């Protein structure tokens, strides 16, 4: 199966390396798509090495083919996973905004392609009415969520907002692919 792994600007982005590695070990073709903020936390080279695929970060990376990379990947995807999914990306997806290749892929996906979002952010941000409105809209649009989990947060707080454990994300991926 072809899995697109979106990685956004959260300290939890480092866990995407383990997620990508596990998915490749399971036999999936994994294509990582980083937001610019995500690339501040984990390098494209790390993900390229783990997935054995070029990593899409900016529109300039899409010049490798006659077909725009975000369209090609959207057409080939069996599943889009965004882990971690920040409040920013949830807002972009919920409101149809496409400021980067990841959001462009989301908008170009066939409606039948499942989307799994694994939020990670400060608990106040997660519970903010605007974020919750975006989550409700995305759920109504057919997106599936895993997490966020409770525990120590990178900002020094404790509570809701941690990225779901990688094993939990992998289990949800298996469920979605089995039902696809």
Query: What's 94-160 look like in SS3?
Result: HCCCCCCHHHHHHHHCCCCCCEEEEECCCHHHHHCHHHHHHHHHHHHCCCEECCCEEEECCCCCEEE
Tokens 């919920």 belong to 94
The catalytic position among 64, 139, 154, 155 is 155
The torsion region of residue 64 among left (phi > 0), alpha (psi -120 to 50) and beta comes to alpha
Q: Is 155 a catalytic residue?
A: yes
Please give the backbone phi and psi of residue 101, each rounded to the nearest 5 degrees, phi first: -60, -35
Return the sign of the alpha-carbon dihedral for residues 30, 57, 156, 123.
negative
* 49 bridge partner residues: none
Distance CA 38, CA 111 (A): 26
Active-site residue set: 155
């Amino acid at each position: 199966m072809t899995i697109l792994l979106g990685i956004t600007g959260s300290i939890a982005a480092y866990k995407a390396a383990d997620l990508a590695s596990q998915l490749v070990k399971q036999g999936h073709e994994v294509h990582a798509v980083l937001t610019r903020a995500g690339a501040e936390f984990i390098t494209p080279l790390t993900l390229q090495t783990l997935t054995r695929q070029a990593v899409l970060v900016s529109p300039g990376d899409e010049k490798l083919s006659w077909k725009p990379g975000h369209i090609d990947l959207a057409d080939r995807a069996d599943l889009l996973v965004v882990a971690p999914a920040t409040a920013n990306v949830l807002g972009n997806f919920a409101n149809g905004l496409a400021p980067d290749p990841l959001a462009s892929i989301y908008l170009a996906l066939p409606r039948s392609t499942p989307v799994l979002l694994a939020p990670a952010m400060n608990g106040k941000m997660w519970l903010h009415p605007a974020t919750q409105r975006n989550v409700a809209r995305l759920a109504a649009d057919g997106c599936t969520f895993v997490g966020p989990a409770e525990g120590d947060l990178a900002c020094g707080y404790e509570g809701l907002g941690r990225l779901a454990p990688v094993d939990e994300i992998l289990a949800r991926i298996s469920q979605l692919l089995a039902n696809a």
